[in-house]
Structure 1
Amino acid sequence: MADITVTTTDSIEGRAVSEYLGVVSGEAVIGANVVSDIAAGIRDVVGGRSGSYEKKIETGRQEAVTDIKAEAEQLGADAVVGATMDYEEMAEGMLWVNISGTAVKTRRA
């Protein structure tokens, strides 16, 4: 996969957008197993952060970013600008991660 830049900003320093190619998105659905649910519940009761959930969220984020880069590459883009990320609970223990933005071609400014 080409090195696609993904940024939340509308521009990339030192580069100018030469062509807008369209909206792209990437998604991931992640779930937690019973053991990590129990461990996270205990942490919630006694306080502290749930490392297992944090790792799952990070994995979901990385998968969604990989997906958006692949979709942008198929359009011939070298960057995605204006990216936004959303996390939604689909069902208990299931988390949907979505990232969307605009695929663009850029040139050195």
Structure 2
Amino acid sequence: MAQEILITTTENIPGKKYEVIGEVFGLTTQSKNVISNIGAGLKNIVGGEIKAYSDMLHESREKAIERLRDEAQKAGGDAVVMMRFDSGSIGGDMQSVVAYGTAVKFLN
């Protein structure tokens, strides 16, 4: 796992000067098993949160951030600024999540 790389959604980091390295991203695509899909279908009928899918999306976001940190470290970065998430469905049962931002290197 990457060293502790600071990740922020802001453009500036108070008290830090840095140079831009470039864009980095972390991507994951996951799906639920058949039993979870059946449970989600039943929950869709009665309404309410589909916990299995909420958990999957939370796990996907965490994995995407972990991969974003790895990419920033490989690029020689100390932090990622302007981090954002994007997600989308692939087919009917897969979810893709990407975390992206700009890797930066702190100046002395």
Amino acid in structure 2 at the alignment position of 1:13: P
Residue 39 of structure 2 corresponds to residue 39 of structure 1: yes
1:19 is paired with a residue of what secondary structure? strand
Q: Which portions of structure 1, spanning 4 or more consecutive aligned residues, are displaced by more than 3 angstroms?
A: none
Identity, in percent, stands at 35
**TM-score, normalized by length of structure 1?**
0.91
Shift of 1:106: 2.4
8 Å CA contact retained: 2:19, 2:107: no
Q: Tell me how far apart the structure 1 counterparts of residues 10 and 42 of structure 2 sit (CA, whole Å).
A: 38
User: Partner residue of 2:8?
Assistant: 7
Shift of 1:13: 2.6
Larger strand proportion of the pair: 1
Q: Tell me how far apart the structure 2 counterparts of residues 34 and 15 of structure 1 sit (CA, whole Å).
A: 48
Residue 69 of structure 2 corresponds to residue 69 of structure 1: yes
After superposition, the C-alpha distances for 1:42-85 in whole angstroms (9 at most, x for unaligned) are: 11111110111011111111111111100100111111001111
After superposition, where does 1:92-107 map in structure 2 within 5 Å? Answer: 92-107=92-107
Any unmatched runs of 5+ in structure 1?
Answer: none
Aligned CA-pair RMSD: 1.3
Shift of 1:107: 4.8
Amino acid in structure 1 at the alignment position of 2:60: G
Any unmatched runs of 5+ in structure 2?
Answer: none
- 23-32 or 99-108, which deviates more: 99-108
Q: Tell me how far apart the structure 2 counterparts of residues 91 and 13 of structure 1 sit (CA, whole Å).
A: 42
**TM-score, normalized by length of structure 2?**
0.92
Amino acid in structure 1 at the alignment position of 2:15: G
